[in-house]
Amino acid sequence: MVKKINTSKISLILNFVIASLINFRCSPVSVKTDYKNEKILIKDAISINIQGAKKNAPFPVSLRIKLFTELPLIDDYPVFSNSQFSVDGDIKDEKIKFDVNKGTYYGVLEINNNQYFPLIYSDIANINFKFGFTHSLTFLSKGEIKHFPEYKCKSSIIEGGFGREEILCPPLRIDENQKLNLTVKISDKSDFSERGTSAIWIAAIYVSLTSLTPAGIAVPIFMGPIAVERKIENNIVK
């Protein structure tokens, strides 16, 4: 009997590489809103302090925030094109603040300081937060999105993510008395990343097998054959 391949799990495994390749682009940070109710803006509702980012690095820190007033749909995962509040792009300042409409939100916040040295190596540094929901794998589908039932944030292993962690949190509540004040500190020490290196080569093999060409070699060419990683501490989960 031929064993079926869980293609949804393979796709999740490749998220690491795909997300990294996407971050080759450098663009100024942009903010977009699409509120469906009357605007009651809360000043400095989200404050982010990013410490330890590499100075004068080829690739600046990139920030991605996607917030919804309802649980996001699985068909919109992980692009989240229909969010009510969106931030996407590169940031140059260590501290950045955003005004957000009063409300309760589901969504993601991602900080990325990856550095790429084609034909040599990738230096990975990223941290991801999910607010109000979890995503789990299901066979031959995009997976399943469920409410996050707990009242405190916690670290969790991403399914199919080679041991990569994410921070799961309750829905994000924004009002005059409740704001998000996030501080992250990126380590200046890089250690060999077994999961990152494995992801590069599995992606290369997968691309070649599915295309029936040697095209997969482009992955280690662009990302380098090995990966190192800088840890990121945060003030939400110690």
How many C-beta neighbours within 10 Å does residue 188 have? 9
pLDDT score, position 134: 93
pTM: 0.84
Residue 49 confidence (pLDDT): 97
Q: What does the pLDDT read at residue 181?
A: 97
In contact, 172 and 132? CB cutoff 8 Å: yes
Tens-level pLDDT at each residue, the chain (238 residues): 444 444 444 444 455 455 555 445 556 677 787 766 667 899 999 999 999 998 788 889 999 999 999 999 988 888 898 899 999 999 888 999 999 999 999 999 999 999 999 999 999 999 999 999 998 876 666 788 999 999 999 998 775 555 578 999 999 999 999 999 999 999 999 999 988 898 899 889 988 998 899 999 999 999 999 999 999 999 999 7
Output phi, psi for 9, to 5 deg: -70, -40
Question: Looking at residue 33, what is its pLDDT?
Answer: 78
Task: Quote the Cα angle for 203-188-122, to 5°.
Answer: 20
- Upper half-sphere CA count for residue 220 (Cβ side, 13 Å): 15
pLDDT (0 to 100) of residue 1: 44
| Of 9, 41, 18, 55, the residue nearest 200 (C-alpha) | 18
| pLDDT of amino acid 10 | 46
What pLDDT is recorded for position 9?
Answer: 43
Residue 19 pLDDT: 52
Report d(CA 219, CA 154) in Å as an integer. 32
CA pair distance 106, 108, nearest whole angstrom? 7
Place of tokens 């920030």: 63
